[in-house]
Amino acid sequence: MTIRIVLADDQGLFRSTLRLLVDTEPDLEVVAEATNGGEAVRAARRFHPDVVVADIQMPGIDGIAATRSITSDPLLRGTRVMVLTTFEYDDNAAAALRAGASGFIGKDASPQELLDGIRAVAQGDTLMSPTATQMLVSHFLSRPAAGSAAESAVVGTLTPREREVVVLVAEGFGNAEIADRLQISVLTAKTHVNRAMTKLGARDRAQLVVAAYECGLVVPGRRSVR
- Looking at the chain, the whole-number percentage of residues with pLDDT higher than 70 is 81
What kind of architecture, by CATH, is found in domain 3-127?
3-Layer(aba) Sandwich (3.40)
pLDDT confidence of 106, banded at 50, 70, 90? confident
Closest among 205, 186, 187 to 197, alpha carbons compared: 205
Q: What is the pTM of this model?
A: 0.71
Q: Hey, where are the domains in the chain?
A: 3-127, 128-226
Average pLDDT over residues 194-198: 90
Q: What are the pLDDT digits (tens) for 141-162?
A: 555 454 554 556 677 889 999 9
- The predicted pLDDT at position 41 comes to 97
Among residues 179, 214, 5, 216, the alpha carbon closest in space to that of 98 is found at: 214
Position 66 confidence tier, pLDDT thresholds 50, 70, 90: very high
CA distance 167 to 178: 10
Instruction: Tell me how long the chain is.
Output: 226
| pLDDT, tens digit (0-9, with 9 covering 90-100), for 85-102 | 776 555 677 778 788 888
Overall average pLDDT of the 107-131 stretch: 79
Distance CA 128, CA 28 (A): 21
Q: Tell me whether domains 3-127 and 128-226 share a fold.
A: yes
- CATH for 128-226 is 3.40.50.2300
Asked if the model's pLDDT at residue 129 lies above 70, the reply is: no
For the chain, what percent of residues have pLDDT higher than 90? Answer: 45
Please tell me the predicted confidence (pLDDT) of residue 88: 55
Return the pLDDT at 128: 61
Q: Which helix (DSSP H) or strand (DSSP E) does residue 140 occupy?
A: helix 130-140
First to last CA, the chain: 40
> Pick from 82, 89, 80, 35: which is nearest to 62 by CA?
35
| pLDDT per residue as tens digits for the range 199-212 | 888 877 877 887 88
Judge contact between 103 and 72, C-beta under 8 A.
Answer: no
pLDDT band at 132 (very low <50, low <70, confident <90, very high): low
Residue with more model confidence, 28 or 172: 28
List Cα–Cα distances, 32 to 5, 26, 66, 189, in angstroms: 7, 17, 15, 36
Residues 6+ apart with CB under 8 A from 155: 147, 163, 200, 215, 216, 217
Per DSSP (E only), the strands in 35-172 are: 51-55, 80-85, 103-106
